[in-house]
């Protein structure tokens, strides 16, 4: 596989080549296929993407947990991050925790 190494790393180039291969195979199998209907992802790709983007496990503190406790911990980490947004006001976690 030859590619512009200043533009792409090896995994990206391999992925683009695989997508091109799937596109060409789909077009050869059905010359009337619309390009937007070609499925570029394999089943393995879907599993990998699903696992990567859904890895959202959170370690919770031991003992009872409260809404205020979660807000306080978030305020300690990111006090300026928006916690509540309405048409008239945005309240940051730090401000919400102080209330």
Per-residue pLDDT reduced to its tens digit, 11-64: 999 999 999 999 999 999 999 999 999 999 888 888 888 887 777 777 777 777
pTM of the model: 0.49
Kindly report the number of other CB atoms within 10 A of residue 74's CB atom. 16
- How do 90-92 and 82-85 pair as beta strands? antiparallel
| Cα(98)–Cα(83) distance, integer angstroms | 12
Cβ pair 11, 3 in contact under 8 A: no
Of 59 and 69, the one with more pLDDT: 69
Residue 53's φ and ψ, nearest 5 degrees, are: -85, -10
User: What residues have CB less than 8 Å from 96, skipping those under 6 apart?
Assistant: 71, 75, 83, 84
């Amino acid at each position: 596989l030859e590619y512009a190494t200043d533009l792409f790393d090896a995994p990206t180039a391999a992925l683009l080549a695989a997508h091109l291969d799937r596109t060409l195979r789909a077009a050869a199998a059905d010359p009337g296929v619309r390009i937007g209907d070609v499925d570029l992802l394999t089943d393995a790709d879907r599993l990998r993407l699903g696992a990567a983007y859904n890895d959202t496990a959170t370690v919770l503190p031991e003992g009872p947990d409260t809404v205020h406790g979660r807000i306080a911990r978030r305020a300690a980490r990111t006090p300026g991050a928006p916690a509540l947004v309405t048409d008239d006001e945005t309240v940051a976690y730090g401000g919400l925790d102080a209330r």
